Each structure stands twice: as C-alpha cells, then as structure tokens.
Amino acid sequence: MTKAAFTVRAFGYYLLVLGVVLIVVPNLLLTLSFMPATSEVWIRVVGVLVLNIGVYYLYAAKAEATAFFRASVYTRAFVLVSFAAFWLLGLAKPMLVLFGAVDAVGGLWTWRALKES
C-alpha cells in the first residue's frame, strides 16, 4: 500500500466512525461540538452520507485509485472553505470550522504523500 493510499484509508475509517456516531448518537456529537441538539432526521441523513463516503475512501485506497486521491485533496479543502463561509455568514457555529479543518489536514496529508511518490 502506498503512503497516499494509507492516508486515504485512514481518512475513510475516520469517516466511518463519524458516520456511525451521527446515525446512532448524533446529539452526543452535537453537544460535544457546542452545537444545538436536534430531534430532526437531517443529522442522521448526514451520517448515512458520511458513512457511505467513508466506504468509497476505503475502496479507493484498496484499489490505489490515484485519481481519487488527487480529487479528495481538492474536495477536502473545499469542505474547510465551505464550513468557514457558513460560519462567517452566520449560518453555523464556529465549531463546524474545526470539522472542516480535519478534512483539510487529511487532504494535506494525502497531498504530501502524493508528492513523495
């Protein structure tokens, strides 16, 4: 397994865990993130999407899908930009930016691994 594939696999596992938490105990994560709890289904829907994306990451890592690795660098940076914009526009709490930062750091890790190979 290449270093880039390893970074994508690690991020895939992070997404799987995050997805399961959002599906099973979403208000625990929301409360820990200083966001308001909800009884609406939207947070669980997000959990399903996050979990599915995590599965894509794991399969891409296994397949050494370099094109996917490169695309993930851009999309993970876009998550940070989007979440920061949501916060600056008053649409979200600042804690959301932290989740975007995790994505961006993961993207940078993959980008560095791609450069090394």
pTM of the model: 0.92
Distance, CA of 62 to chain centre? 18
- List the chain residues with pLDDT less than 70: none
pLDDT for res 3: 98
Tokens of 61: 């890592």
- Which tokens sit at 55? 């599965």
Q: What is the reported pLDDT for 34?
A: 87
pLDDT of 117: 86
Domain ranges for the chain, please list them: 3-116
- What residue type is assigned to position 46 of the chain? V
